[in-house]
Amino acid sequence: MKILFAGTPEIAVPLLSSLSEVLDVVAVLTAPDKPVGRSKQLQPSPVKAEALRLGIPVLQFESLRTEARQAVRETGADTLVTFAFGKIFGPKFLALFDRTFNVHPSALPLLRGPSPIQHEILYRFKEAVISLQTISEKMDEGDIWATTSFDLDGTENTLSLTQKVASAAASFVPQVLCNIEGCTSHAQEGGATYCTMIDSSMAVLDFNRPASELHALVRAMYPWPKARAHIDGREIMITSVYGGFKELENQESVPRLPAGSIFAFEKKKGLGVVCKDSVLWINGLQLPSKKEMDHVAFVNGNSWIVGARFDE
């Protein structure tokens, strides 16, 4: 098995590293370098940086047409393994390989699409699943080779869950591929669901909604685009919340105050905000152009917030 590994962001780095230890990764395909910061200096993707560290040849193309296919053909790769590459593979590209595998962080056919990790949090799943599937011409519809899973406790945000998925995939995928001759794939079963790209319009908090929904929204929107609300027209980003599933199930009843009222400050929990059915405890906040703060530091510099009310 001679592998072309296709990936771009940080989530794929541990898998590239672990695959290279046990199998023959002949080349890496990743996104072109991008200008970063005010200087617009070109910066390699995390996957490229790891490939260079490992001494693996790197391929970068704006499109996967003739030039890219020829370069891939010259690597001698017979197997494609991809994790968060960021481009769709066409039939001519896929035809270069005897086998193709894609790592997708959901229990397919649930959450097909570009943001399964965020949506596992938004939907308050109690379990995270990683699927290893054949790449098909239609997004995330290929047969399943194997899955792995781990429990969620409701404290995860997108950053921490991405790190957990990256670590789990790095252990799970090489084990499956090393024993692939003894495996059989099967078609996806059950009804499909889909998730869209995350954008900033999804990050607005409405305190007329249940606290459990807002708790999940804050976690799903971190570290980007960050959940946000307004007080007297002033934007405040909400970066973290107290507790997990257990704490949400044991919530006290909501005070008789309008939704969005910040009625309490507790050092252990945070700022208590009235929601539709119970209380959301906020323990991470950020003003525009300022650093993130925990609730204690924020209140020390912004005591006005206790007793205020978020705009409707």
Delineate the domains of the chain, giving CATH numbers in brackets: 2-182 (3.40.50.170), 200-305 (3.10.25.10)
Rounded distance between C-alpha atoms, residue 55 and residue 223, angstroms? 31
The predicted pLDDT at position 312 comes to 85
Residues 145/133, Cβ–Cβ less than 8 Å = yes
The pLDDT of residue 39:
81
Residues with Cβ within 8 Å of 279's Cβ and at least 6 positions away in sequence, in order, are 211, 251, 252, 254, 255, 264, 272, 273
* Among 164, 6, 180, residue whose Cα is nearest residue 83: 6
Characterize 79-113 residue by residue with b for buried, 16 or more Cβ atoms within 10 angstroms of its Cβ, and e for exposed: bbbbbbbebebeeebeebbeebbbbbbbbbbbbbb
Cis peptide before 255 (omega within 30 of 0): no
Tokens of 202: 């999804």
List, for residues 133-172, the tens digit of each pLDDT value. Answer: 999 989 999 999 999 999 999 999 999 999 999 999 999 9
**pLDDT attached to residue 38:** 80
pLDDT reported for residue 241: 98
Beta strands at 270-274 and 262-266: parallel, antiparallel or unpaired: antiparallel
In the prediction, which pLDDT does 37 show?
Answer: 80
β-pair type (127-133, 58-60): unpaired
- CA–CA distance, 141 with 135 (Å, rounded to integer): 8
| Residues 122, 217 contacting (CB under 8 angstroms) | yes
| Ranges of residues in the chain whose predicted pLDDT is under 50 | none
Strand stretches in the chain, DSSP E:
2-7, 24-30, 34-36, 41-43, 58-60, 79-83, 99-104, 127-133, 144-151, 227-231, 234-241, 262-266, 270-274, 279-286, 293-294
Predicted local distance difference test score (pLDDT) of residue 142? 96
| Alpha-carbon span 176 to 155, nearest angstrom | 29
Please give the pLDDT value at position 40. Answer: 83
Structure tokens at 131: 């699927």
Q: What pLDDT shows up at residue 254? A: 82
> In this predicted structure, what is the pLDDT of residue 213?
97
pLDDT score at 195: 96
